[in-house]
């Protein structure tokens, strides 16, 4: 075991992590900043984001309008001071990315182009065709290379946060290429590891999205906030879960049932028009559209394919020219992965797990309740997204709150005392735990347990939930966690042992699955993406509050509540299409 | 029994072997699968020790490049049905890179080459972000857009005969990336990058075969980028001969 050290350590090299690293390096060039990531940064899942990133830039738009769309989209479960800071800082962050070279799509006059997006009343979504996340990530990564004070630990997998006396002092990590276990001591740590879509069987999320940072923080004593809110994106390709971006609807795509009928008109989302109407029909919010799919299924008006029920997304009316200019990736994905040319054919789609509104509880600067520990991006719950995130707010969130966390954590690190030797016993314990796992000689295969977990989560914690189903889910998770103590690893090698990494990821996911189920069980109301068939109404009196899940000594989750911050927009009805 | 296909996969465990060996696995010939799905079937159901990188499974993260029957491929973008079940499919790590384990190669040198071309906007008059975006017309965007599509999958390095002979060669993706910034109307760093690239002799060994462009899964055309670079360098050289007192 070797010990490395730095002033500020960022865990994760996606959009939020890279933005944080640059912000820290610019704010405090005197600090040693490091980014540790289990993949090379340009492999991070930000790369797969397609449709765009929201920020007010056009004269007809206002930050108040962006704030109201976000608050109502969130079903009032966001903190409005956070939303106000977000909409204010979003344009500056987006212009910054433009200055760093991001190839934004343009208007004829050379200004950046914006497109409509779900739940947004004004066109404010910047885009780079339909590979926005890819271009943002590569721009950030390439720009980060010029900051010499930022060191990278690529393909290191973090297994533990070192916390002593309420303060975070670094991490333990496996250097995957060699299997060596190291500690990286730091005065401050920012978690930027993304979400945990892989807890579910059918997801747009990449293989690496296992909730690492959420589980690390939770085990270290930080609460996880609003974990019951899981976003289903309405349009994924049935077999693979590959995302067909909301931009396909923003450019004029229609959702139709088996009769070719634009069924969203039956779900209080407006009346169908040939051209897209903002905050209406196909440009409604994701929670409502995914719920409408389930209702259509129950009415027997969906289609049935080899990979389950589906409806069709019709983008033919957009025309080949616009599709190739603004949605080339949609066409490429359909051709490659569904054998369909959307210029001439309908795209089969169904709702697919896409994003976690919940995450590590932070304040408006990304600070968690553990001193020296920060979080930003999907791993965090800064309370921007509430009960339902609007499409194109999350890429911008990575920038705004990545930058905030980077600056604030850098200032903290500059003032903080060095870590000292308080953590060496913890490091030795962790090393022993990892060695034991590598030598574990049980009977359970990782893939089998993972598949059982995923099936149980879809069954219990899907688009519509019930108390009974959630209880059953928690029982299944308890059993699976027992089984996970009896793993069988085929791979005993120290060199690039991906099976060991998968075993650790499975532990993370099982832990978080239970938190999602417990949080969902306790919230006996329906709000945004959390729909309880047994409690179909929103209950502001009791639940205009964030859930906070704390890990008890025996590993069980204890749920507490924290009131929502309201500044200017009192709770109201969510109105779309009228 | 359902139809199967045989994967013959290169295995290399440095603690146990000095040379790679091959191991065969029979997997279902599932017509909805890409090649990566077949490898994951092996990993999940047959042999958890088989080691490879992957993440997005939708051709954009660039992790899962391998040699398939001797050709560099992004395995998440290749349908299994591209191969006939009657013949084994040979899967090896990307060639011209050091192998760490099984199908995982060491990409440190590639990362160094990418950074060496200064892949960021260089200009003297950096405006405050409060001001506004830099204007760029759709036509100006089109000038470099294609070269910005590289996903760093490194298939072009495994296809490049020059990389095979001369490991110091900056290589197709890094040169395309340099051109991506050189051709960006917001950038003024072309000269700095030219100096970097001139240090690499390998460029002139490029034979215009265009193997890099053929294997690129994202139609980036690195060969075209190298051509542009050579023309620019040749022009500079001509100017320096005709105007030997430093005028350019």
Contacts for B208 with CB less than 8 Å, ≥ 6 apart: B223, B227
- What's the CATH superfamily of B108-242? Alpha-helical ferredoxin (1.10.1060.10)
Q: Determine whether A233 is an active site residue.
A: yes
Contact A373, A412 (CB under 8 A): no
Task: Determine the average pLDDT of the residues in B172-198.
Answer: 93
pLDDT score recorded for residue B208: 72
In this predicted structure, what is the pLDDT of residue A1?
55
Q: Which residue of A has its CA nearest to B139?
A: A108
Q: Which residues on neighbouring strands pair with residue B4, listed in sequence order?
A: B28
d(CA B52, CA A496) in angstroms, rounded, equals 9
**Residue written as token pair 């920060």:** A374
DSSP letter at A531?
Answer: E
Tell me how far apart the alpha carbons of residues A234 and A290 are, in angstroms, rounded to a whole number.
Answer: 5
Task: Tell me if residue A249 is catalytic.
Answer: yes
pLDDT of residue B160: 94
Burial per residue of B93-127, b for 16 or more beta-carbon CB atoms within 10 angstroms, e otherwise: bbbbbebbbbbbbebeebbebbebbbbbbbeeeee
Picking from B57, B100, B121, the nearest residue to A495 by CB comes out as B100
Are B197 and B178 contacting, i.e. CB atoms less than 8 angstroms apart? yes
What's the whole-number mean pLDDT along residues A198-205?
98
Residue by residue, DSSP assigns A404-470 as: HHHHHHHHHHHHSPP-TTTTHHHHHHHHHHHHHHHT-B-SB-HHHHHHHHHHHHHHHSSSEE-HHHH
pLDDT at B248: 41
Environment class of residue A166 by beta-carbon count within 10 Å: exposed (0-12), middle (13-18) or buried (19+)? exposed
Residues near B158 by beta carbon (within 8 Å), at least 6 away in sequence: B65, B67, B72, B94, B95, B96, B97, B215
Among chain B residues, CA nearest to A143:
B120
Cβ A42–B61 below 8 Å, yes or no? yes
Q: Give Rg (Cα) of chain A.
A: 23
Confidence of residue B201 (pLDDT cuts 50, 70, 90): low
Find the mean pLDDT for residues A142-164. 97
Q: Write out chain A residues lying below 8 Å of B11, CB-based.
A: none
Choose the catalytic residue: A115, A124, A233, A350.
A233
**Which value does ipTM take for this structure?**
0.97
User: Which residues lie closer than 8 Å to A503 by C-beta, 6 or more apart?
Assistant: A437, A440, A446, A487, A489
- Calculate what percentage of chain A has a pLDDT beyond 70: 99
Q: With an 8 Å Cβ cutoff, are B48 and A445 in contact?
A: yes
Residue A103: which of B52, B131, B145 has the nearest Cβ? B145
How far apart CA A164 and CA A426 sit, in angstroms, is: 9
Q: What is the pLDDT of residue A307?
A: 96
Determine contact: B184 vs chain A, CB below 8 A: yes
**Is B57 in contact with A445 (Cβ distance < 8 A)?**
no
Domain ranges of chain B: 4-105, 108-242
List residues bridging with A301 in a β-sheet: none
CB contact under 8 A, A447 and B45: yes
Tell me the per-residue pLDDT of A491-542, one tens digit each, with 9 for 90 and over: 999 999 999 999 999 999 999 999 999 999 999 999 999 999 999 999 999 9
First to last CA, chain A: 63
Question: 3-state secondary structure string, A538-553?
Answer: CCHHHHCEEEEEEECC
Q: Give mean pLDDT, residues B64-70.
A: 98
Write the CB contacts of A433 (distance below 8 Å, at least 6 apart in sequence).
Answer: none
Chain A residues inside the 8 Å CB shell of B153: none
Residues of B in contact with A48 (CB under 8 A): 56, 58, 60-61
Helix (H) or strand (E) holding A41: none
Put simply, the answer to whether B60 touches A131 (Cβ < 8 Å) is yes
Question: Does B43 contact A447 at a Cβ distance shorter than 8 Å?
Answer: yes
Please tell me whether residue A175 adopts helix, strand or coil conformation.
strand
Q: Is the pLDDT of residue A313 over 70?
A: yes
**Nearest C-alpha in A relative to B55:** A207
Mean pLDDT, chain A, integer: 97
What is the model's pLDDT at position B247?
46
Closest by CA to A208, choosing from A512, A511, A514, A498, is A498
pLDDT in tens, B90-118: 999 999 999 999 999 999 999 999 999 99
Q: Is the pLDDT of residue B245 over 70?
A: no
List CB contacts (< 8 A) between A134 and chain B: 60, 151
Question: B4-105 architecture in CATH?
Answer: Roll (3.10)
| A233, β-bridge pairs | A352
Residues written for chain B: 248
Top residue of B18, B34, B58, B196 to mutate, by most chain A CBs within 10 Å, is B58
The fraction of chain B above a pLDDT of 90, given in percent, is 77
* pLDDT bracket for residue B1 (50, 70, 90): low
């Amino acid at each position: 075991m070797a010990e490395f050290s730095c002033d500020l350590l960022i865990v994760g090299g996606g959009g939020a992590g890279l933005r944080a690293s640059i912000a820290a390096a610019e704010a405090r060039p005197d600090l040693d900043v490091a980014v540790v990531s289990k993949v090379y940064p340009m492999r991070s899942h930000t790369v797969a984001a397609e449709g765009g990133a929201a920020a007010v830039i056009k004269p007809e738009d206002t930050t108040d309008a962006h704030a109201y769309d976000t608050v109502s989209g969130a079903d009032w479960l966001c903190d409005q001071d956070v939303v106000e800071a977000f909409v204010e800082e979003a344009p500056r962050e987006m212009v910054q990315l433009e200055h760093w070279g991001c190839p934004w799509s343009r208007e004829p006059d050379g200004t950046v182009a914006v497109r409509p997006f779900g739940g947004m009343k004004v066109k404010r979504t910047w885009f780079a065709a339909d590979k926005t996340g890819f271009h943002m990530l590569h721009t950030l990564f390439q720009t980060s290379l010029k900051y010499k004070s930022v060191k990278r630990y690529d393909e290191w997998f973090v297994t533990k946060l070192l916390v002593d006396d309420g303060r975070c002092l670094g991490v333990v990590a496996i250097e995957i290429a060699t299997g060596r276990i190291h500690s990286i001591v730091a005065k401050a740590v920012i978690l930027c590891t993304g979400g945990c879509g892989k807890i579910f069987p059918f997801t747009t999320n990449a293989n690496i999205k296992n909730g690492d940072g959420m589980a690390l923080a939770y085990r270290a004593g930080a609460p996880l906030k609003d974990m019951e809110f899981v976003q289903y994106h309405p349009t994924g390709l049935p077999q693979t879960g590959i995302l067909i971006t909301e931009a396909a609807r923003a450019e004029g795509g229609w959702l139709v049932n088996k009769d070719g009928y634009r069924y969203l008109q039956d779900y209080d989302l407006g009346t169908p028009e040939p051209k897209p109407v903002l905050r209406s029909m196909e440009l409604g919010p994701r929670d409502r559209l995914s719920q409408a799919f389930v209702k259509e299924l129950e009415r027997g008006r969906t289609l049935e394919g080899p990979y389950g029920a589906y409806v069709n997304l019709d983008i033919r009316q957009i025309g080949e020219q616009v599709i190739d200019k603004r949605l080339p990736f949609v066409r490429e994905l359909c051709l490659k992965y569904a054998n369909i040319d959307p210029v001439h054919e309908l795209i089969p789609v169904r709702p697919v797990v896409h994003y976690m509104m919940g995450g590590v509880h932070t304040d408006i600067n990304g600070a968690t309740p553990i001193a020296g520990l920060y979080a930003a991006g999907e791993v965090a719950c800064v309370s921007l997204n509430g009960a339902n995130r609007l499409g194109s707010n999350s890429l911008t969130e990575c920038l705004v709150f990545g930058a905030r966390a980077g600056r604030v954590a850098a200032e903290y690190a500059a003032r903080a005392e060095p870590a000292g030797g308080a953590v060496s016993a913890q490091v030795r314990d962790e090393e022993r735990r990892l060695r034991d796992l590598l030598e574990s000689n049980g009977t359970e295969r990782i893939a089998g347990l993972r598949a059982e977990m995923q099936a149980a989560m879809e069954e219990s914690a899907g688009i519509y939930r019930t108390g009974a189903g959630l209880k059953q889910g928690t029982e299944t998770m308890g059993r699976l966690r027992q089984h996970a103590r009896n793993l069988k690893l085929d791979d005993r090698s120290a060199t690039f042992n991906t099976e060991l990494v998968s075993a650790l990821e499975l532990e993370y996911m099982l832990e978080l699955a239970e938190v999602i189920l417990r949080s969902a069980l306790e919230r006996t109301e329906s709000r945004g993406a959390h729909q309880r068939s047994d409690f179909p109404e929103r209950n502001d009196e009791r639940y205009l509050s964030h859930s906070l899940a704390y890990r008890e000594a025996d590993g069980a989750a204890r749920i507490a509540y924290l009131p929502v911050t309201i500044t200017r927009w009192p709770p109201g009805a969510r109105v779309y299409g009228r | 029994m359902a139809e199967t296909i045989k994967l013959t996969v290169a295995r290399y465990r440095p603690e146990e072997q000095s040379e790679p060996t091959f191991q065969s696995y029979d997997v279902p010939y599932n017509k909805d699968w890409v090649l990566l799905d077949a490898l994951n079937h092996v990993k999940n159901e047959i042999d958890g020790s088989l080691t490879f990188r992957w993440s997005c499974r939708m051709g954009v993260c660039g992790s899962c490049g391998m040699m398939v029957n001797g050709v560099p491929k992004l395995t998440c973008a290749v349908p299994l049905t591209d191969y006939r079940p009657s013949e084994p499919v040979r899967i090896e790590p990307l060639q011209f890179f050091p192998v760490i384990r099984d199908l995982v190669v060491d990409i440190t040198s590639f990362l160094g080459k990418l950074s060496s071309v200064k892949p960021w906007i260089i200009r003297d008059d950096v405006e405050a972000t409060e001001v506004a975006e830099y204007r760029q017309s759709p036509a100006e965007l089109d000038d470099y857009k294609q070269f910005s599509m590289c996903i760093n999958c490194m298939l072009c390095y495994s296809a490049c005969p020059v990389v095979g002979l001369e490991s110091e060669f900056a290589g197709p993706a890094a040169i395309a990336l340099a051109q991506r910034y050189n051709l960006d109307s917001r950038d003024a760093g072309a000269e700095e990058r030219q100096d970097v690239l001139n240090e690499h002799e390998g460029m002139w060994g490029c034979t215009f075969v265009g193997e890099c462009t053929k294997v690129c899964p994202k139609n980036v055309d690195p060969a075209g980028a190298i051509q542009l670079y050579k023309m620019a360098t040749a022009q500079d050289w001509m100017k320096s001969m005709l105007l030997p007192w430093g005028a350019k």
